[in-house]
Amino acid sequence: MSHLAVNWGMARPVMPLGNRAGTILRQDQVRSARCIHDSFTNAALKLIRISCGPESEAPGQENFQMTNGIPETITPGLDWQTRLAHTVDTMRELSLQQTPQSMVQTYSSKMNEIVSVDRRISLSRRGLESPMVRVTRFSEWKEKIDPWKQPDKLPVLYGGLFANLIYSNEPKVINHLELADDDPARKYLGDCKSIIVLPLYDQGESLNMVVLARNDADAFDNESLPQWVWMSNLFGRATQTLVLKDRLEEAYAEIDRELQNVGKIQRSLLPDKLPDIATMQLAAYYQTSARAGGDYYDFFELPDDRWGILVADVSGHGTPAAVIMSITHGLAHAFPGPPSPPAKLLTYLNRHLHERYTGNIGGFVTAFYGVYHAPTRTLRYASAGHNPPRVKSCTNGTIASLDGAQSLPLGIMGDTHYAEAETTFVPGDQVIFYTDGITEAMNAEHEQFGIERLDKALENCMLTADGLIQSVVAGVEDFTAGHSPDDDRTMLVAKIL
């Protein structure tokens, strides 16, 4: 013999329920199964709290009666299609809400259309000690108070019925309520005779609670209490999710403000204007991948018409790299005497970084430092594992790298020796100092921009230093299709005059 499963009042053959093979569902079991199915569907959608009291006479309200302890709708017009339409409409409106306050207001408004109670009170004991309890919502209040934004407007009660209920951590139906005149709850319950108490659990404790009240005695039934607790807590969790979302957004906003300030401080360490060097036209470009970054460039005015040119790149990204960048800046400017020759400055930076900073965290700094003698157009340089600058000769069209003095990055080994090399430019030469965020910029196919594309952007010898910067930037932007940088990007371009 087939057995029945109920789906919105429709019966179909299925396997026996549980292990009770051969058992035929009685009519009351069918009715219970239908109610359980309906409550599961509605609870999964965080929807209808069913009114469990005596049938309501209010026009336009859904009427309920108790059958075998299960609430059933008896209004002829509210068939399953009508209830489904209300469910869909409610879910759509709830899905549009972005704040816990609007979520609760929307839910309450929709529930008022189908549930008849005389008073609703929401309670909380978050941040309070027994026997204190805070009233967060009351259906009789004229002013709409946002408990999350206006906690100072919420009354705190001491002791009484509400405190006993919320600290008991238990749901409850009271159908013959009697209150002492001095009980703080009387102001909110008045002469109501029946209440249903719905704790909303968080970390296993009823930190919040909803109390629904009716004027009549025997208005609620214990048989419906599990459904009320189930559905109330599902909606409570949805609301708490929005609360956490709001707090997370606020935390992110605060962190972002702090990172913006870090970025502003970091940028203040860069030269506020480029130096005026007699035989060199300069342009600079600086873009971090986050609010702050680890790229660094600087200029040092030296005796005898010489200029120190420093470009560095801290390993990693974001705030940690910005901190090491700031330390590197401080060390460079604390160098005893003029920072020259190049190897001497790199040795100094390397020793202090390794001893006090990068040696403990496994970080490092690549750096290229050159001392340019303007009258002779000579650059003496040393490199700590940095990308060799590219030199475009507009006399013969060749492109070369300044890679004659490569060594380990700063901060890896405290006793690293840094060699030096020297080159002499001629008027028309174009030099680009850069960090690997330029050449390692990737497109959608995970291809890198690379040296060849960088060289191509330097081909036009008629461009100014600013024009060359824009040529490279445009090339990178086109190659990456405008994708936000994954690494900091820094360039210095020198046009030899």
> What pLDDT is stored for residue 114 in this prediction?
66
Does residue 24 surpass a pLDDT of 50?
Answer: no
Q: Which of 114-118, 268-272, 278-282 has the lowest mean pLDDT?
A: 114-118
C-beta separation of 200 from 169 below 8 A: no
Contacts of 67 by beta carbon, 8 Å cutoff, 6+ apart: 31
pLDDT of residue 460: 92
Q: pLDDT-derived band of residue 62, with 50, 70 and 90 as boundaries?
A: very low
**Span 19-37, mean pLDDT?**
39
Confidence (pLDDT) at 221: 85
Separation of alpha carbons 370 and 48, rounded Å: 74
The pLDDT-based confidence of 84 (bands split at 50, 70, 90) is: confident
Which pLDDT tens digit goes with each residue over 434-450?
Answer: 999 999 999 999 999 99
Residue 349 CA to residue 82 CA, distance in Å, equals 76
Domains in the chain, please, with CATH?
Answer: 1-114+227-259 (no CATH), 117-220 (3.30.450.40), 269-496 (3.60.40.10)
8 Å CB contact between 424 and 377: yes
Residue 137 has pLDDT above 80, yes or no: yes
Residue 75's pLDDT band (cuts 50, 70, 90) = very low
CA 42 to chain centre: 31
Percent of the chain past pLDDT 90, that is, above it, reads: 56
Q: How many CB atoms lie within 10 A of CB 4?
A: 15
Answer whether residue 152 shows pLDDT above 80: yes
Are residues 188 and 139 in contact, defined by beta-carbon separation less than 8 angstroms? no
Cα separation of 470 and 211, whole Å? 67
Nearest in space to 386 (alpha carbons), one of 309, 448, 472: 309
Q: pTM of this prediction?
A: 0.64
Tens digits of residue pLDDT in 277-297: 999 999 999 998 888 888 999
Query: Is it the case that residue 425 has pLDDT exceeding 90?
Result: yes
What is residue 78's predicted lDDT score, i.e. its pLDDT?
Answer: 65
Candidate from 64-68, 360-364, 385-389 with smallest mean pLDDT: 64-68
CA distances from 142 to 137, 269, 309, 349 (A): 11, 56, 69, 68
The answer on pLDDT for 20 being more than 60 is no
Would the pLDDT of 39 be above 60? Answer: no
Would the pLDDT of 69 be above 60? no
